Amino acid sequence: MASEGESNNLAGVRHIILVLSGKGGVGKSTISTEIALALRHVGKKVGILDVDLCGPSIPRMLNVHNKDVHQCEGGWVPVFVDQEKSISLMSIGFLLEHPDDAVVWRGPKKNALIKQFVSDVAWGELDFLIVDTPPGTSDEHITTVDALRPFHPMGAVLVTTPQAVSIGDVRRELTFCKKMGLPIIGIVENMSGFVCPHCTECTNIFSKGGGEELARHAGVPFLGCVPLDPNLAQSLEVGKDFLQEFPKSSTYASIISIAQQILDKAANSSS
């Protein structure tokens, strides 16, 4: 059973999505950020919970890394990304005294903060809460899933890159989701080709199709491919909304398609 505080703070959240991968460096934070922005573009109110405690990069990606969190009667107030308060964010990055401080914590302290993030952040009314997780299938992931379980997460989006080594790690993440009873929304293949900023042609600098093949083999949806795009990378570096800046790019179409499938899945789960 959820505690009273947890019920109050997550009662207004309609759908919870975890972004997972068994491997680091595949772009989970990028996919989390762009899904949030895409959902905002269609009028949804979105929260992002960044539980990647040792690598909190989303505050910088959304250009709010210099903001502070505040306390209210219900707990921590998340940082709002825009004036409309359509995207809110909670991250350990806001709690560090200096941005370059390393989080040198043992598992129990990390797990305690994750539980506190779930119970003590006053999210208010949200259509979606996106949870960006660290790599792997360890204590932090078990704690996150267990803490959110009473609120019936919609499921997990698994992120991979085309290479076989990444596919193998994500295959283990599929096993983790199965053991934890976490539904799988689908698989995203990130860094799938390279979009030339001059001619916009997409070239497969890695292998291609591994994510789609993994989804087919596992019997889960394949949500799509997101190519390496210098404009996307630059937008994340300076905290700009790539989808607003480059609506004609093929990467824009890929991200919007992924978000639409998530919306469709959410609509079906609510009906």
- In the annotated binding site, the residues are 22-29, 196, 199
- Compute the distance between CA of residue 160 and CA of residue 9 in angstroms, rounded to an integer: 32
Look up tokens 């759908």; give the residue.
15
- Compute the distance between CA of residue 34 and CA of residue 18 in angstroms, rounded to an integer: 14
Binding-site residues for [4Fe-4S] cluster sit at: 196, 199
CA-to-CA dists, residue 263 to 153, 181, 244, 260, angstroms: 14, 22, 19, 5
At 191, list the tokens: 């860094």
Binding-site residues for ATP sit at: 22-29
Q: Is 18 helix (H, G, I), strand (E, B) or coil?
A: strand
CA-to-CA dists, residue 255 to 22, 43, 259, angstroms: 21, 16, 6
